[in-house]
Amino acid sequence: MAADCESKLQLVRRHIRDFPDFPKPGIVFRDICPILKDPAALTAVIDLFEEHVRKNHPQVELIVGLDARGFLFGPLLAQRLGVGFVMIRKKGKLPGTTASVAYDLEYGKAEAEIQEDAVAPGQKILLIDDLLATGGTLYAAGELLKKQQAEIMGCLVVIELNELNGSDKLKPLPVFSLVQY
């Protein structure tokens, strides 16, 4: 089982493409597009997330994905687990009554929204996204879900950029990342 897990992680790592100096000089962009293009790599990602969740969070009731790349992995994982999927979107993208939270980005501000009736108070959820950098977006999502009185069990990401210490910003929430740089 451990060997199978390691071979899946290696497959995922091989399908992450680096783009130096994008979107600006000094930044190495970690591209997940090759994972999405390769059915075996995408299956490996979902297998690894599923194994982690079944082992560590068997009581999860909803997977909540962040706009937009959390939408790529979240529904697949939710389907495997037999639970629902909910979206957190950028401001103005969801119909109906929404709850929102403002947060800071590197070069400005943003707002994240969720439909008010998407999560019931006390519902056990996991947040999912493709990448954890500084932690600002996942932190804002957590604040939004606290407003909804959800029980946040943790965060799942494909890639974590350790040097940016994003997981520190999310404490005490546990962060599970497949690949770290």
69 is catalytic: yes
Surface-to-core class of residue 21, CB atoms within 10 Å of its CB (0-12 exposed, 13-18 middle, 19+ buried): exposed
- What does DSSP say about strands 98-105 and 84-90: parallel, antiparallel, or unpaired? unpaired
Cα–Cα distance measured from residue 169 to residue 119, given in angstroms and rounded to the nearest whole number: 23
Asked whether the beta carbons of 179 and 9 are under 8 A apart, the reply is yes
CA triplet 26, 33, 163: central angle to 5 degrees? Answer: 35
Q: Which of 69, 80, 111, 143 is catalytic?
A: 69
* Residue 125 token pair: 């959820």
Which helix (H) or strand (E) covers residue 141, if one does? helix 136-147
**Which residue matches tokens 């999310």?**
170
Whether 111 sits among the annotated catalytic residues: the reply is: no
Active site residues: 69, 106
